[in-house]
Amino acid sequence: MTARDPHRFVNELDEEALVRLVARLEGRARDAVFARLFEKYAERLALPAEARVLEVGCGTGATLRMLARRPGFSGLAYGVDQSAHFVEAANGFAREENLSDHVVFQVGDAHRLDFPPATFDVVIAHTLISHVTEPAGVLAEMARVVRPGGTVVIFDGDYSSLTYAWPDHAFGQQMDRALATATFNNPLIMRDLPRLLHDQGLELVEAWGDAVAEVGSGSYFRSFAETYVPYVKRAGILPGMAVDEWLEGQRQAMEAGTFFAACNYYTYLARRP
């Protein structure tokens, strides 16, 4: 079998896999790492009082719910995702948190957004661009629907930097690559963003990187491994028994306080002239 990014092919997954992905997305949203990375760019957006915001590939809506809970937000945020299962979950979480007046979620394709040009003040892709079929096409759509002077936000990881400690360094590197290959359609896309944003007529305003690391204990990277290791096995990238041993070893390292995992994440803020 070949590796198939589960988020790219989310509409082909069974119910059990969808439930696991919802749990991963919501668990990630509760992690301090996720909140810190989101807040770092959210505080730079300078949203108008009645801002209109779009997130493409919104998943369970965690990012927009965090935005809607920020002090002073009184606008309207739309989330679009190709998965009806995710959208149903997103609307349910919004109702539970009494945010339905400020966030709306609907099924849609990031490559063909169903909105008129220049509709939004801010358009966000938070850990989306690494999964999509055609990154340039998604960026073109984001550039189309943001208003002149509006902001496009791209946040994602450079997954060649994804690494977990493992005593056998050679196998550890193989496992790092296998996780990136099985989980992301475009694991190196953040290196292309300066060129791709320019090609879509967007002006880069600010960009930065964050090294996310968990040493001793793990939560962010524990959830990542437990969610996506089954896709490494399913693709047959590495022997199944060796993969199981690796995952169990990561759990034991967390319990023993000897865990290490890290990945570099990047944020790009661009403006439509």
Residue 224 confidence (pLDDT) above 60: yes
Are residues 53 and 120 in contact, defined by beta-carbon separation less than 8 angstroms? yes
- Per-residue pLDDT at 117 exceeds 80: yes
Is the model's pLDDT at 35 over the cut of 60? yes
In the prediction, which pLDDT does 71 show? 87
Q: What separation, in Å, do the N-terminal and C-terminal C-alpha atoms of the chain show?
A: 45
pTM, two decimals, is: 0.95
Average pLDDT over residues 29-34: 87
Residue 265 above 90 pLDDT? yes
Per the prediction, the chain carries an average pLDDT of: 95
Distance CA 106, CA 109 (A): 10
Q: Dump pLDDT digits (tens) for 69-109.
A: 998 899 999 999 999 999 999 999 999 999 999 999 999 99
pLDDT score of 223: 93
Question: What confidence score (pLDDT) does residue 100 get?
Answer: 93
Q: Concatenated DSSP letters for the chain?
A: -----TTTTGGGS-HHHHHHHHHHHHHHHHSHHHHHHHHHHHTTS---TT-EEEEES-TTSHHHHHHHTSTT--SEEEEEES-HHHHHHHHHHHHHTT-TTTEEEEE-BTTB--S-TT-EEEEEEES-TTT-S-HHHHHHHHHHHEEEEEEEEEEEEEEEEEEE--SSHHHHHHHHHHHHHHH-S-TTGGGTHHHHHHHTTPEEEEEEEEEEEEEES-SHHHHHHHHHHHHHHHHTSS-HHHHHHHHHHHHHHHHHT-EEEEEEEEEEEEE--
What per-residue confidence (pLDDT) applies to 1? 55
Report how far residue 192's alpha carbon sits from residue 77's, in angstroms, rounded to the nearest whole number. 28
Kindly state which CATH superfamily the domain 10-158+185-212+265-271 is placed in. Vaccinia Virus protein VP39 (3.40.50.150)
pLDDT at 63: 96
